[in-house]
Structure 1
Amino acid sequence: MKKILYLMNVDWNWIKQRPQFIAEGLSSSFEVSILYRYKYNRKGLTADNQAHNYKLSRIYTIPFINKQKTLKRINDWIIKCWINLLIRLTKPDLVYVTNPAHIAGVPSSYVGKIVYDCMDYHSAFIEDNIERKQLIESERELVNRADLIVVSSDKLKANLTQNYQLDGLSKRISVVRNGYNGEVLDNVLESEIDKKEKFSLAYIGTISHWFDFEALRYSLEQLPNIEYWIIGPQSKVSVLEHPRIKYFGSVEHTKLYNFIKDANVLIMPFQVNDIVEAVDPVKLYEYINFNKNIISIRYDEVERFEDFVYFYNTKDEFVEAIRNIQLSDGIKYSFDKRITFLKHNTWNNRVKQLVDLIKEL
C-alpha cells in the first residue's frame, strides 16, 4: 500500500474542515501518517476521540514567539527539521503538502511524489512584506516540484496560473472542491420558533478579520427581534459585544446540528477580499445539509449556490434578505433538490477524485 506523509499547518483538533476530512479519507486507500503543528492554547479546539486508521504526529514548536520575526525563524527551522526527519525515517511514497512553507522540509534528494493541496490564497493572509515574499518564493518552488496540484476553487487555479506562469502548470492543476461529511440529516425541520417573537441567525466557522461585524451591527439596529448565535473559534479578531449576540466557541462537529436546530437562518457574513474571493466555503455545503434558509455575501465562487442561498452585496441588502425570510412560508430549496446536491458533494466524493489523481502519478 502506498505510504503518504500528510503535512498540516494547523492543530489536528482545530475546527474540522478540508485538511482533516481529506486526510481521513485518504487513509481508507493509503497508509497515511499525519504531521501537524501542536497548538498550545487549547481553547477553541475540539477532541478527537474516534478510532482511526491513520497515524498522528505532533510538531512541538516554541510557544507564543511567532510575532517576533527573529524568534519565528527558530520555529520555522524546527518545523523544517521535523518534516525532513520524518521523510528520511518513514520514506513515504508521496508527501502531501497543504502549506507552501513546508516545502523547505522536503529534501532535494527526495525521489517520491509531491502533491500540493492549495486550500487558501496563502500570501493574502500575510501582512509583512518580507514574510509574504518568502512565502511566495516557497510556493513557487512547491508548484515547480509538485507532481500534482489540487485547488479548492477556480479562483485559486487562476491565481496560481497567473502568479507563477510555469510551463505546463495548468495541466498539473485539478479543481477538487470542498464538501460536507456525507451524513445526510433526514430528521431536520425548519425552526418552529415564532419568527415574529424571536428570529435567530446562526454562524458556524472561524471568526477572523474577514467577518463582517458591521453588517451584524446594522441589522441589529434595523431589526429589533433578531439575535445571532456565533459558533466557532476566534482568530486574532475583536468581536462585537451585544446583548443579542451569543458566542459559543468551538463545538464538536457531530454536535453542531443540536446547537443550530432551532435557528431560523444560517449566515455567511463576510467582507469580500482576496482571501474570501478564493474560498469555496465548506459551511455552505453543511448549511444545506442542515435544511435551513441561508444568507451569504455574493462573490463569483459561490454563484453556483444560487438555488439554495439568499445573496446580498450591501448591509441594506443583508437586512432585506432577513426580512424576506421572515415573511416567507418555508425554505428556499426543495427537499429533492437538497438531497441531489448533497449526494454529489460529499467529502467521500472529493477523496475519490483525489485517489484517482494520485493513482495516476
Structure 2
Amino acid sequence: MRTIVMLSGIPYEYLKHRPQHFATYFARKGYEVLYICITDYNKIDPVHLGNIRDRDSFIDSFFSRNADDVFVIKSSIHSENINDSSLTLLINKINRIYNEKNLIFIAAFPQWITHLQALSKNSKLIYDCLDDWEEFTKDPDMGYSEEIINCERKIASIADLVITSAKRLYVKMSYYNNNIYYLPNGVWNVDFTQQELLPQVPIDLKSINKPIVFFMGAIAKWVDLDLIQFIAELRPEYSFVFVGNLRCDLPKRSNIYFLGSKKYEELPHYLAVSKVCIIPFKVNNLTAAVTPLKIYEYLASSTPVVTTIMPDILELPGTRAATTYNEFVEYIDEFISMNNEKYTVETKMAKKSVELYNWPDLLEPINNMIKRDSYQVENNENVIKNTIRSYKNYKQSFLIKNELLGMYNYLGLYNLSCSLYDFNDETLEIQQHLDYEKLALAHFCSGCIDMSKKLLNMYIENNDKKILQPYVNSLLKEEDFEIFLEIYLLKASGNIYEAIKLADSQIVPEKYQPKLLGLLSGLYLDIGEYDLAFQVALEILAVENELKLEDIFDAYTLKFIIKTFSEQNQYDLAEEFTLTLMQINKEWQQFFVSLLSDVYISKHLVE
C-alpha cells in the first residue's frame, strides 16, 4: 500500500474543496492518505513526535481516521508554545518512518515548500496549483504577502508534476516546469443525482416563493454584489437564495435570502427545488483562473446555470455565460420561462455535460502516473496551442484577449500579442483585464521600445505599484537601459528563469555592476532562493558607491534585506536602512512603517 500525504491550506472539515476531493478519491483507491493542513502546527508536540519510532505509534498518536477513510491530524492541542517548525519535524518524521519509500506528497498550498526542504529522491512531489495566489496578494484583507508567490515558483520548479485547475494557471506554471497537467475541478456525480433524493423541501425553503434562483459557496470579494443587486431589483418576482459563508454583506432586498452555511450532504436538497443556479463572479484576472466546483455540482443536479464569463467553462452545455448585466438577467429569464419540454432538454444537457468531470475519471490519469512512477505528460506548447484554438469564437472579449496575450507570449508570438489591441499612443488608456507587463514585453520584443516603456508605466499605475517607480526610472536612465528593460519585463511577466539567464549573460568578471547584481538579487528572491538573494545583496552592500539603495534594489528586495538583517539580530542595521528608505516619499513611508515596527518589536524582545 502506497501512502499519499495531502498538504493543504484548509482544514479537512472546512466545507468540501478540491484537496478534500483528492484525498477522498485516493483513499477509495486503497491508498493510505494522510491529510495535513498548514494550520495544524499547534496540534503537534515536538517532544512527543521525537519519541515516535514506528508507523503504528505515529498514526495512533497524531492521526484519526474520518468517515472518508482519510487520516487527519487529531484536534487535541498539546501545547500553546508551538510554532510552524513543528510541521517540518512532522514531514521529516514521515520520511523516516516510511523509509522514504512509496511516499507521494501532494501540496495544494505554496507555503508548504518551507517544510519540504529535506524530501528524499525516493519521494515524489506533486504541486496542485488551484488558485492564482498572486491575485490574492493584491487584496490586503486576504492576508497574503509576496512571499506566497515566491514559494509557489519554488515548489512548482522542484515538483515532479504540477497540476493546474485552470488554463491561465497552466500557462503561468509552464515557466517553471515542463510537466504540467491540466485538471479542472469536478464533481462526485452520484452525490447530486436528484432521482435518489427524498421528496422533501428543506425547512428554511418552505416559506420562500418560487421560482428560486440559487447560489452556494462563499459570498466574498470575488462575487459581484452590484450584479446581484441589479438582477434582484429587475426581477422582484424571483427569489434569490444564497447558502454558504458570508464574508461580504449581500444587498438588502426582500427577494434576497441568505440561509447560512449548509453541510455538503444537504446541498442536493436545495438544488432539487431550484429552477436556475447562478455564478455572479466579478470578471477579472482572479476569476479568470477559476473553474468553480459549484458549476459542476449545479450541473450534476440537472440544474441549468447562468454565469459571468470565465475562460475554462465556456460553452458547457446547460450553461449560459453572460457578458453584461442585462444579458445575465435575460439568461435567467430564458430558463425560467421555458416550457417543460425545453427545460427538460436543458436539464438533461446539464447532467450529460458533467459526465466527463466525475472526480474518479478526472483523477484516474494521476493515479496511473503514480502507479507507473512516471510523470511525463503532453507537451506544454501543444496544450496551449489547442487552448488558443478553443478561444477563437471569443476574441472580442477583453478577458479572453488577455488570456491569449499570455499564451502568445509564452509561445514567443509577440506580433500576435501586439495585434490583439488596436490602440496607439493617442488611445493608450487604462483598460480592464489587461496584463500591461506582458503587453509591454510583447512590444519590446517586436522592437517598439517607446510603447513598451509606456505600457510598463501603466502596469505600475494600474497595479498600485507606485513604490516601484523610482527603481524602474533608475534602470531606464542607464546607458544600456534596453537590456535592463528586457530583464525587468521578463521578471514582471513571470518568466523569471529567462530573466536570470539574461542577467547572468551580462555579468562581466571583476567588474562592479551594482544595478545588474541588484536586479539579480531580486530575481533570486522571486524564485524563493533566499540565501542566494541575500548573498548577492551583501556583495553589493560590501562596496561603497554613490548610488542610492532605491536605485540598486526594488522595494520588495529591500524589504527582504531588512527582514533578513532583523532575523540575524542585526537590528541597528535594519533600523538604519528602514529609516533611510522611509524618507524617500509618502509611499515609501507607508510601505516600510510596519516593517520598522517589526524591527523594534524584535529588538526589544531580545533585550
Q: Give TM-score, length-normalised by structure 1.
A: 0.81
In 2: Cα distance, 1:263 partner to 1:337 partner: 16
1:34 to partner: Cα distance: 0.8
Q: CA deviation at 1:142?
A: 0.6
Equivalent residues in 2 for 1:254-265 (5 A)?
A: 254-265=265-276
2:187 is aligned, of 180, 185, 206, to 180
Structure 1 CA distance for aligned equivalents of residues 351 and 249 of structure 2: 38
Shift of 1:98: 0.4
Q: Does 1:226 align with 2:234?
A: no
* Number of the residue aligned with 1:113: 124
Between 51-60 and 10-19, report the one with greater CA deviation. Answer: 51-60
**Structure 2 residue corresponding to 1:156, chosen from 147, 165, 169:** 169
Shift of 1:224: 1.8
Alignment partner, residue 43 of structure 1: none
Other structure's SS at 1:51 match: coil
1:188 to partner: Cα distance: 8.0
Match of 1:32?
33
Aligned partner of 2:3 in structure 1 is 3
**Where does residue 21 of structure 2 map in the other structure?**
21
Q: Deviations over 1:244-279 (max 9, x none)?
A: 221122212121121232222111000012221011
1:128 positional shift: 7.0
Alpha-carbon distance in structure 2 between the residues aligned to 1:233 and 1:86: 34
User: Matched residues, percent identical?
Assistant: 22
Query: Structure 2: 5+ residue runs without aligned partners?
Result: 41-63, 374-607
Q: AA paired with 2:30?
A: S
In 1: Cα distance, 2:139 partner to 2:245 partner: 24
Distance 1:310 1:20, change over 3 A: same
* Contact 1:36 1:58 survives alignment (8 Å): no
Change in CA separation of 1:319 and 1:127 when aligned onto 2, cut-off 3 Å: same
Q: Distance in 2 between matches of 1:86 and 1:351?
A: 24
Q: Secondary structure of the equivalent of 2:146?
A: helix
Question: 1:78-157 maps to which residues of 2 (within 5 A)?
Answer: 79-90=87-98, 91=100, 93-111=103-121, 112-127=123-138, 132-157=145-170
Q: Is the 8 A contact 2:244 2:260 kept in 1?
A: yes
Provide closer, same or farther for how the CA distance between residues 332 and 37 of structure 1 changes in structure 2, counting only shifts above 3 A.
farther
1:181 shift after superposition: 1.0
Partner of 2:217: 205
2: distance between equivalents of 1:273 and 1:120?
13
Structure 2 residue corresponding to 1:282, chosen from 293, 296, 299 = 293
Tell me if structure 2 keeps the 8 A contact 1:231–1:249: yes
Code of the aligned partner of 1:35: I
* 1:33-71, Cα deviation, whole Å (9 max, x unpaired): 1112559xxxxxxxx99633221115889xxxxxxxxxx
SS of 2:336's equivalent? helix
Contact 1:188 1:291 (8 Å CA) reproduced: no
- 2:76 is equivalent to residue 56 of structure 1: no
The whole-number CA distance in structure 1 between the counterparts of 2:210 and 2:263 is: 26
Q: Against the structure 1 CA distance between its residues 346 and 157, is the aligned structure 2 distance closer, same or farther, given a 3 Å change threshold?
A: same
- What is the CA deviation profile of residues 227-255 of structure 1, one whole-angstrom value per residue up to 9, with x for unaligned ones? 211111134x3333333221122212121
Offset of residue 179 of structure 1: 0.9
CA 133–304 in structure 1, closer or farther in 2 if over 3 Å, else same? same
In 1, Cα distance between equivalents of 2:76 and 2:249: 28
- What SS does structure 1 have at the residue aligned with 2:307? strand
Q: Check 1:75–1:107 CA distance in 2 against 1; reply closer, same or farther (3 A cut).
A: same
Letter of the structure 1 residue corresponding to residue 218 of structure 2 = T
Which of residues 328, 331, 337 is equivalent to 2:338? 328
**1:138 aligned partner, one-letter code:** C
* Alignment root-mean-square deviation, CA: 3.1
After TM superposition, give the deviation of residue 342 of structure 1 in Å: 3.4
CA change 1:53–1:263 in 2 (3 A) is closer
Compare relative contact order (CA 8 Å, sep 6+) and give the higher one, 1 or 2: 1
Distance 1:101 1:60 in 2: 24
Distance 2:182 2:119 in 1: 29
Question: What is the number of equivalent residue pairs in this alignment?
Answer: 330
1:86 offset after TM fit, Å? 4.3
Partner of 1:285, secondary structure, is: helix
> Could you say if the C-alpha distance between residues 131 and 52 of structure 1 is closer, same or farther in structure 2, counting changes exceeding 3 Å?
closer
User: Which entry has the higher C-alpha Rg, 1 or 2?
Assistant: 2
Instruction: Give 1 or 2: higher helix fraction.
Output: 2
> Are the counterparts in 1 of residues 8 and 19 from structure 2 also a CA contact under 8 Å?
yes
Structure 1 unmatched runs, 5+: 40-47, 62-73
Which letter maps to 2:115?
Answer: G
Structure 1 letter corresponding to 2:270? F
**Deviation of residue 343 (structure 1)?**
2.9
